[in-house]
Structure 1
Amino acid sequence: MSSLRITEIFHSLQGESNTVGLPTVFIRLTGCPLRCVYCDTAYAFTGGTKTSIDAIIDQVDQYATRYVTVTGGEPLAQPSCLELMTRLLDKGYVVSLETSGALDVSAVDPRVSKVMDLKTPSSGELGRNRYQNIDYLTPKDQVKFVIGSDEDYEWSKAILAEHDLLGRCEILFSPTMGQQNPTELAEKILRDRLPVRFQIQLHKILWDDARGK
């Protein structure tokens, strides 16, 4: 029986992406090969509980909501994540995957909405970006840039142009909490007429850094 190491499963409002504000079940998988400077889920790097996929789905069913987000850590570090997402989709859930972009996304079920980071210079993990993943993005997917500095912003604009990302999928620009002034980032986006979605992490505004929210 397939299983995954799970840090937590919880019901909250989606705090990011194009489904922000919608009630969502989050499945947080344990483990991540990256160590981004701004990471706010370091508690998911280790530990967790080995849980069968059947048990995970049973728990998700209890919340009676349509949306499920598989997150981490880095979910794709556990191969059985692929089976979990397909089974959730087959049950009629709308499934999104939050991934660092450092691992191969080619085997992800095409029905999944991928929310993929491209790591900016201030993340400390710029060299881990797997640019081949861009070939597997579709219009329902999203690429997120977490921006903590002017350098990050200019780098992100250059990557948009270099890889024609605006013509491929939706783009999210998110300020690094406590590092990038969100108003200044919003003003830059407006100044440069960038057709990107500005986002602030809603869950942090509502619940600060509380786990399970």
Structure 2
Amino acid sequence: MTPPSVRVSEIFFSLQGESSRVGLPTVFIRLTGCPLRCAWCDTEYAFTGGETRTIAEVVAEAGRQGTRTVCVTGGEPLAQKNCLPLLAALCDAGFDVSLETSGALDIGGVDARVSRIMDLKAPGSGEADKNRWDNLPLLTAHDEVKIVVADRADYEWARGIIAEHRLADRCPVLLSPVQGKLAPGELADWILADRLPVRFQLQLHKVLWGNMRGK
């Protein structure tokens, strides 16, 4: 029987730039492919290409990096059917695993040991109609919601969604500005003015290295 495999864009070791794990040395496993085309996407190179590798090979390479913290990202990793067994295999191997997903695809099958970092798409992304709202009741305190904000309209949309779905009562919520579109201080001021129950974040990897691939 052919061993299960995934299409991998890249595997690299860096600092986590987002989520509550920001700053942690992390192995990133970036899977190829994404059904979304967000206006501010910074990983378009992962839409196509990559290399087919068995799950066992991917887990073994992660193990050679010397850290327990692993992030499976994309693209949209859940667009590959074997993402789910990859996540389970990483957990079985003793890794502390997070999944970065757009939230456009069902997260219900993700191994319960995985922290699901779900990126709700604001209108400025051009993909807000792809949000899968049925995912929200599945979130737990082990998960996180991220919303990237391009302007005041996106912020007001995010504020409304956070209130309507009581997201901050369910899991941590993180807001970040689109680099080059919204001044970080402006978003910070809005959050403070509204006393919004969220965590402000910048993409640490971009502060350190810009848009360098593999960082």
TM range (shorter): over 0.9
What corresponds to 1:66 in structure 2? 68
| Alignment-derived partner of residue 157 in structure 1 | 159
In the TM superposition, 1:156-195 aligns within 5 A as 156-195=158-197
Cα-Cα RMSD? 0.5
- Give the structure-1-normalised TM-score: 0.99
Whether 1:7 aligns to 2:19 is no
TM-score scaled by length of structure 2: 0.98
Amino acid at match of 2:49: G
CA shift for structure 1 position 112? 0.6
Secondary structure of the structure 2 residue equivalent to 1:79: coil
The aligned residue for residue 22 of structure 1 is 24
**Could you say what secondary structure the match of 2:72 adopts?**
strand
Q: Which of 33, 47, 50 in structure 2 is aligned with 1:48? A: 50
Residue 154 of structure 1 aligns to a residue whose secondary structure is helix
2:150 is aligned with 1:143: no
Provide the C-alpha distance between the structure 1 equivalents of 2:197 and 2:94, rounded to a whole number of angstroms. Answer: 31
The one-letter amino acid paired with 1:30 is T
Identity rate, percent: 59
Match of 1:38 in 2: 40
Count of aligned residue pairs for this structure pair: 213
CA positional deviation for 1:91? 1.4
Gaps of 5+ in 2: none
**Offset, 1:101:** 0.5
Structure 2 counterpart SS, 1:116? strand
Deviations 1:14-52 (A, max 9, x none): 000000000000000000000000000000000010000
Structure 1 partner of 2:59: 57
Runs of 4+ in 1 over 6 A off after TM superposition: none
Deviation at 1:64, TM superposition (A): 1.1
1:48-90 Cα shifts (integer Å, max 9, x gaps): 1000011101110111101000000000000101001111111
Distance 1:62 1:93 in 2: 12
Instruction: Describe the SS at the equivalent of 2:59.
Output: helix
Q: Please point out which of 110, 113, 135 is paired with 1:111.
A: 113
Distance 2:128 2:21 in 1: 27
